[in-house]
């Protein structure tokens, strides 16, 4: 029945408005729009005619409030459903409701109802009327409920429940049942444990389906409070180029007799990394600095098994440039120092060159497990103190002004909210990334887009008319937590650690950065990142500080002549090499 109105101009959008605010905005659109859903005091969905809805979204953006159109082509709970109400009432006329066995709270009428009342008219109202989720959760909280379990393939309302609890200044547990791309049995057990931690009584005899709970043999030594896991290293490593597991890492070279050194080789070009054409600094294609995060994560998992390995420190030495004709050879070398410590160096060499250039180096931590994963409410990530809204169009004008030219693959920033202490960015993956499988933990284009949030703070400098060079100098303590679905939007929080350091033509910023999924679960975090922007015209002036370019002499000892007296033993060969060598020795005075 819904297919009959699909594609007929209906649309829906989620907004950071209260119900009363949303009703006031849509009132002037002559019944073309409705408040469709009230998820929480700070999250309201508007639905109806798409043309009118787009105008409403522009008005909300002008208020510097969050809003985003949802990817649907049917406007549920709106006037678009009116033609379906009659046919639906006819189809469900024979529904015969019975008395409910457990209390039933309706999000249609925002109160508790008896099962007999859920008749055909209720079903019709459920299609057309507003979903009053906020009101019904508030009623449940008032009635003393403190634990909420969301039964779904992936949680979508847990954060809304937490926001309802925050509005009532109370604490509760909102627990998921399953998580996307996570093992179902393990996830169910973990969430059951979380429910038990909240004080919920579990019927363990029913859980184990036995009168006697199984005996657990406790070891005879103190608990170490650590996870011991065996990882499978048996998978064959395909070392032929074009069949590598991760395109930015390359293929592994097995080194005989050197157990603590691991080496990977790769060939970088715009042919096999075509999306890099959309990442340019001063109009030149450059491998993003965040590429190292993806590359090293893949290397650590391949060398030491899957785990929560950490990049403790990363120093950027020089960028890697690409053009349409050439191919760059690269090598990543990881050296294990101890059980949990390692270091790495990354080298590149252009075609025809002999010498390898070091591009980055750093320290690593080898970890098998990690404790509790941090979370944050989307209310904290999307609203509150952030007072300056930067739209996608405005943001990419800023990056262009500071020398960063991003193509479509790297233009994933939807909006940024900025204040003096932090920036919050909403990242939407490019459709090519979202709709196609890829071998990356997080696609480098998406990862780089997340890090772009740090450049929102340069909006005051964008009026500069000089040529700008932008680069990263170092990172500290980068941690991965889990791999989100490639199609999922991400929320990025960049906290400015110190005031900008500015000298003639040079601006330095230090940032702490965290990446979250749309449910507030952390994906990755970085304790420190330093970004530098150089005004090339300012550097060309006469007052350029001497520390930028300085002549430093280094003492070099000349080799000493070897006047050692001795005897040379030369083995004769049938090719005449020994005779030639003897003759050269004699001519040299030996």
Q: What is the pLDDT of residues 194-213, one digit of tens each?
A: 898 888 888 888 888 877 76
pLDDT value, residue 379: 46
Q: What is the pLDDT of residues 272-324, one digit of tens each?
A: 888 999 998 878 899 998 899 999 999 999 998 888 899 999 999 988 999 87
Q: What is the pLDDT of residues 215-249, one digit of tens each?
A: 777 777 777 767 666 644 333 344 444 456 888 99
526, pLDDT greater than 70? yes
pLDDT value, residue 547: 45
73, pLDDT greater than 50? yes
Residue 368 and residue 339: Cα distance in Å, rounded? Answer: 11
How much is the average pLDDT of 184-200? Answer: 90
- What are the two backbone dihedrals, phi and then psi, of residue 229, each rounded to the nearest 5 degrees? -135, 145
Of 100, 11, 94, residue with least CA distance to 57:
11
Task: Please list, residue by residue across 127-146, b when 16 or more beta carbons sit within 10 angstroms of its beta carbon and e when fewer do.
Answer: bbbbbbbbbbbbbbbeeeee
pLDDT value, residue 401: 82
Mean pLDDT of all residues belonging to the chain? 84
Count of Cβ atoms closer than 10 Å to residue 254 Cβ? 9
Which DSSP symbol is given to 521?
B
Residue 109 and residue 164: Cα distance in Å, rounded? Answer: 17
Q: To the nearest whole percent, how much of the chain has pLDDT over 90?
A: 46
Both tokens of 546, joined, read 């001497």
Q: What is the pLDDT of residues 150-178, one digit of tens each?
A: 999 998 898 899 999 999 999 888 999 99
Q: What is the pLDDT of residues 543-582, one digit of tens each?
A: 444 444 556 677 777 776 666 667 888 888 777 788 888 8
pLDDT value, residue 133: 96
Residue 232 and residue 67: Cα distance in Å, rounded? Answer: 45
262, pLDDT greater than 60? yes
Higher pLDDT, 379 or 302: 302
Band (2; pLDDT cuts 50, 70, 90): confident
Residue 174 and residue 143: Cα distance in Å, rounded? Answer: 16
pLDDT value, residue 237: 40
Of 478, 439, 184, 519, residue with least CA distance to 308:
478
Both tokens of 115, joined, read 């099962």
Both tokens of 441, joined, read 């933990």
pLDDT value, residue 501: 66
How much is the average pLDDT of 326-338? Answer: 92
User: Can you list the domains of the chain with their CATH numbers?
Assistant: 2-145 (3.40.366.10), 148-213 (no CATH), 251-365 (3.10.129.110), 378-542 (3.10.129.120)
3-state secondary structure of 94: coil
374, pLDDT greater than 70? no
| Contact present, 277 and 407 (Cβ < 8 Å) | yes
């Amino acid at each position: 029945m819904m297919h009959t109105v699909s594609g007929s101009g209906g649309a829906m959008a989620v907004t950071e408005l209260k119900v009363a605010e949303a009703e006031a905005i849509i009132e002037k659109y002559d019944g073309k729009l409705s408040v469709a859903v009230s998820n929480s005091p700070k999250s309201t969905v508007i639905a109806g005619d798409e043309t009118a809805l787009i105008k409403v979204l522009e008005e909300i953006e002008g208020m510097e409030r969050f809003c985003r159109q949802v990817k649907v082509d049917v406007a549920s709970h709106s006037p678009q459903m009116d033609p379906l109400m009659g046919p639906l009432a006819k189809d469900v006329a024979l529904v015969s409701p019975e008395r409910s066995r457990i209390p039933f709270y309706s999000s249609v009428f925002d109160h508790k109802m008896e099962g007999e009342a859920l008749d055909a008219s209720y079903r019709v109202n459920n299609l057309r009327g507003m979903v009053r989720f906020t009101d019904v959760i508030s009623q449940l909280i008032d009635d003393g409920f403190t634990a909420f379990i969301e039964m779904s393939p992936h949680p979508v309302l847990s954060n809304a429940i937490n926001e309802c609890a925050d509005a009532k200044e109370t604490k509760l547990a909102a627990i998921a049942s399953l998580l996307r791309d996570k093992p179902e049995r393990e996830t169910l057990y973990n969430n059951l444990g979380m429910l038990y931690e909240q004080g919920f009584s579990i019927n363990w005899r029913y859980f184990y389906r036995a009168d006697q709970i199984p005996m657990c043999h406790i070891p005879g030594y103190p608990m170490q409070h650590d996870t011991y896991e065996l990882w499978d290293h048996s998978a064959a490593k395909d070392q032929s180029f074009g069949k590598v597991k991760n395109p930015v890492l390359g293929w592994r070279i097995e080194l005989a007799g050197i157990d603590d050194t691991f080496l990977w080789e790769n060939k970088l070009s715009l042919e096999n990394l075509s999306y890099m054409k959309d990442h340019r600094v001063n109009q030149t294609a450059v491998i993003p600095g965040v590429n190292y995060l993806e590359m090293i994560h893949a290397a650590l998992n391949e060398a030491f098994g899957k785990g929560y390995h950490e990049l403790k420190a990363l120093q950027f030495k020089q960028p890697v440039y690409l053009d349409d004709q050439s191919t760059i050879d690269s090598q990543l070398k990881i050296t294990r120092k101890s059980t949990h410590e390692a270091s790495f160096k990354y080298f590149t060499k252009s075609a025809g060159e002999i010498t390898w250039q070091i591009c980055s180096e750093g320290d690593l931590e080898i970890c098998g497990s990690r404790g509790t994963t941090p979370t944050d409410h989307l209310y904290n990530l999307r609203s509150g103190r952030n007072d300056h809204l930067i739209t996608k169009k405005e943001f990419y004008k800023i990056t262009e002004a500071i020398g960063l030219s991003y193509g479509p693959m790297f233009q994933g920033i939807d909006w940024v909210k900025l204040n003096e202490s932090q920036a919050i960015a909403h990242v939407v993956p490019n459709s090519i990334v979202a709709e196609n499988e890829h071998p990356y933990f997080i696609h480098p284009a998406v990862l780089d887009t997340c890090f772009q949030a740090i450049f929102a703070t340069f909006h005051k400098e964008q009026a500069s008319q000089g040529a700008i060079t932008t680069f990263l100098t170092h990172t500290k303590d980068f941690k991965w937590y889990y791999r989100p679905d490639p199609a999922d939007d991400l929320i990025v929080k960049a906290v400015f650690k110190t005031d900008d350091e500015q000298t003639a033509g040079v601006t330095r910023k230090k940032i702490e950065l965290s990446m979250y999924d749309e449910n507030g679960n952390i994906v990755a975090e970085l304790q420190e990142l330093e970004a530098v922007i150089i005004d090339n015209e300012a550097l060309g002036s006469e007052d350029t500080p001497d520390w930028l370019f300085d002549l430093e002499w280094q003492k070099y000892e000349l080799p000493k002549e070897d006047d050692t007296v001795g005897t040379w033993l030369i083995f004769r060969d049938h090719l005449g090499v020994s005779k030639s060598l003897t003759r050269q020795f004699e001519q040299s005075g030996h």
